[in-house]
Amino acid sequence: MAPNLELYPILKSYTNKYNTPYIEIKEFIEFLEKYSKRKMEEHPEWVKWTSNTAGKFWAELTPLAEAEKLILMADTAGDRIFMPSYYADLIRDAYQSPDDAAMDPFPSEEYLRIILPEDHVSYLNVENDLAPYFEREENKGEADYPLDSPQANAIVKLIFPDSFGHALVLVPMIPRRIIEAALLKVRYFLRKGGNKEYTLHKLSPQFQNKERYLRDILDQILIRPLDCVTNMENFGDFQYLFWAYFCTLAKNDIKKKKEKLGEDIAIFQAVSIIEACNVLYKARAVKEREKELAFKSLELHMGKPPYYYTLDQITKFTSDKGVLLLSQYSEKELDALIKKKTTESQDRQLPEWLVLTGKKGERWFILKSRYLSLCTRLLIETRPKIRQAITKRWTALLRSFQTESPMEKDSDFNTLLESYTAGISPVLMALLEDQKLVWVYEEMEHEETGIPAASRIFTKGRLLPISNLYALRRKDLITDARIMLPFWYSIPIFSAIAALFYRLGKGKKKKGQDSGEEAGDELLAETEDISGQLRNTAREIEMQHVPAGYTLESYLSELESRWVRLIGRENRQNLIEDVHSLIRDCLRTLFRTQKRKIINPESIKKMAFALIARNPTLQSIKDQDTLRIYIELYTVKLLEHIKR
């Protein structure tokens, strides 16, 4: 086997040979040059160090010093190297056979016959200072520390209470290695004499009706002591109580002894470590439980409206008691949970959480189970806003006798709907454009429950046109826009003449009226009588039905609360919107049939009765009188818009 000719192993071998962590640099270079020449006959590789030894030494020494594997010292003794690994190796060797040292106290400076430099050791009180080692998230075990790194060789002096000495350990040994060593000392104690039966006798009153469990745990310590570490880590109420009572019993018995032997000191140190770790394992278990509950609460929040949340909103979730959930877990743990929920999946299905990205880079987190229903919900919520916005747009165009291509072509109409959707509901637009929506839909199709009828937004793998998703027809919106205009706009001959004069009027740059403007004035005067009659009809119906102290709008809201008995805001709003659509359709029909005849309160009342009579849904509503009055008053509201 070829020798390791790196400088660091050679330095470690040198310190072990001379039993000192200090190396005189000048003497070591001379030693290395002579030693390599002697070893070269047996191992030619040593020729590396036979020439320019000092130059090569310093070339390799500098990186080792920068990595803190050794320390360069310039003091009265001359240029020296201090090797921290020397003491660390001694401590590490002392714990290699803890079973053989079970009757002895933990390794100390006296035991190892060394004196540690004050600036190379940390002091910890066993009872109060171990908590940080149970909270660290990285490098939990000895194997997780890089070999010969400063962290792996960091030395700690554990101070025991009541002047029971100290123990030297390395940072990576806390807590697992020292607990294992402590349990082996407890086993040695129970095996000796009648200590097991004495312990059973003393602790039985504390565990009435649980003596069998008490015997089992004592047997476990004797047979499989290291399994107790796992049980302590997992935390159980019985385990916790046993160690709390046992450690107190052992410590009190030892304190009573006038002369304390090495075995007494060993068991006192052992139960002091176990007692402290037992409390910390319980605290960690409680914290883990709180974190688990907080994560469950977080997922419950994700399943509540509005169902889509940014990372900033997730960090501000609170419990039912108003406690910030982020106080129960760290931001790093939250990031880990989100990464797990958004990436891990089973059976080639989508993850539990999906990430939706907007056009401006916004990121929303949505439960997969809510993805399709959220899309449906947003379509329902956005529909009246879209309808209102386009109706207002087209009303303005028609008022000025203009049109646009979305009024005539379905493709352009869909483009207009998409444009308004992106502005009114960016989340909905992002959902409709997201490929994951198709995948969620396909997954749900293969489930037993299937896809609800209201959520069937795909056909043959393709998304329905957005006008179909909204259940909006451009012809209906044009009609809605026209009904908002003065009455004479719906009379072709009048509107044509008015449009002609409107365009001529727009082209004039000088003041004054021509014959076309006069004709327009005559037309407006001719229709004024119709508007006045409609105004009188609306005022008469309003005075008949609206009580004192109410406005038309407030009384309509009052009536809605009486006749709409559906549970759920969405269902209520959908029913009201359907009734409004039916009233508008009936009013259009009334205009066509009445033409220029007078529309009076009686005709409005007949319209309300007829509307209810031919609609089974409206017939099923219990409060028919309230519904009829509501229909009449909503008609009044429409007439008031028409007169403008």
Q: How far is CA 399 from CA 134, 269, 447, in A?
A: 75, 94, 52
78 and 102 fall within a common domain: no
236 and 385 fall within a common domain: no
Number of domains in the chain: 4
Mean per-residue pLDDT, 340-349:
90
67 and 100 fall within a common domain: no
327 and 457 fall within a common domain: yes
Per-residue pLDDT of 386-402, as tens digits, reads: 999 999 999 888 888 78
22 and 47 fall within a common domain: yes
Least confident of 133-137, 190-194, 449-453, 518-522: 518-522
Q: Would you say residue 221 lies in a domain?
A: yes
Please give the pLDDT value at position 525. 37
Q: How far is CA 97 from CA 8, 93, 261, in A?
A: 27, 8, 21
Q: Would you say residue 565 lies in a domain?
A: yes
Please give the pLDDT value at position 224. 93
* Gap between the Cα atoms of 269 and 183, Å rounded: 11
186 and 256 fall within a common domain: yes
359 and 446 fall within a common domain: yes
Higher pLDDT, 445 or 531: 445
Task: Output the CA torsion sign for 302, 307, 310, 313.
Answer: negative
* Gap between the Cα atoms of 178 and 130, Å rounded: 12
Please give the pLDDT value at position 359. 85
Q: Would you say residue 293 lies in a domain?
A: no
Mean per-residue pLDDT, 567-577:
78
Please give the pLDDT value at position 494. 56
Mean per-residue pLDDT, 323-329:
93
121 and 227 fall within a common domain: yes
131 and 74 fall within a common domain: no
Report yes or no: 175 and 142 within 8 Å, Cβ to Cβ. no
Is the pLDDT at 473 greater than 80, yes or no? yes
Q: How confident is the model at residue 519 (pLDDT cuts 50, 70, 90)?
A: very low
Task: Output the CA torsion sign for 116, 118, 120, 125.
Answer: positive
Bridge partner list, 73: 80
Which of 48, 65, 83 is at the close of a domain?
83
Query: Could you identify the residue written with the tokens 């826009």?
Result: 481
* Gap between the Cα atoms of 479 and 502, Å rounded: 21
Report yes or no: 102 and 190 within 8 Å, Cβ to Cβ. no
Is the pLDDT at 447 greater than 80, yes or no? yes
320 and 428 fall within a common domain: yes
Mean per-residue pLDDT, 123-150:
78
The secondary structure of 322-370 as a DSSP string is S-BGGGTS-HHHHHHHHHHHHH--STTPPPSEEEEE-TTS-EEEEEHHH
Please give the pLDDT value at position 135. 75
Q: Would you say residue 504 lies in a domain?
A: no
Pairing between β-strand 122-125 and β-strand 78-82 as defined by DSSP bridges: unpaired
* Gap between the Cα atoms of 428 and 448, Å rounded: 27
Please give the pLDDT value at position 324. 94
Report yes or no: 550 and 558 within 8 Å, Cβ to Cβ. yes
Q: How many residues does the chain have?
A: 644
Answer left, alpha or beta for residue 307, where phi above 0 means left and psi between -120 and 50 means alpha: left
Q: How confident is the model at residue 74 (pLDDT cuts 50, 70, 90)?
A: confident
Amino acid at 321: K
Q: Would you say residue 355 lies in a domain?
A: yes
Is the pLDDT at 514 greater than 80, yes or no? no
Q: How confident is the model at residue 619 (pLDDT cuts 50, 70, 90)?
A: confident
Q: What is the average pLDDT value for the chain, to the nearest integer?
A: 86
Full domain range(s) for residue 253: 91-283
Which of 485, 503, 536 is at the close of a domain?
485
Q: Which residues contact 393 (CB under 8 A, 6 or more apart)?
A: none
Is the pLDDT at 632 greater than 70, yes or no? yes
Is the pLDDT at 347 greater than 90, yes or no? no
Q: Would you say residue 109 lies in a domain?
A: yes
Q: Would you say residue 625 lies in a domain?
A: yes
Which of 83, 118, 136 is at the close of a domain?
83
561 and 622 fall within a common domain: yes
461 and 441 fall within a common domain: yes
Q: Would you say residue 342 lies in a domain?
A: yes
Please give the pLDDT value at position 493. 60
Give the chain's radius of gyration (CA, Å).
44
Least confident of 141-145, 426-430, 599-603: 141-145
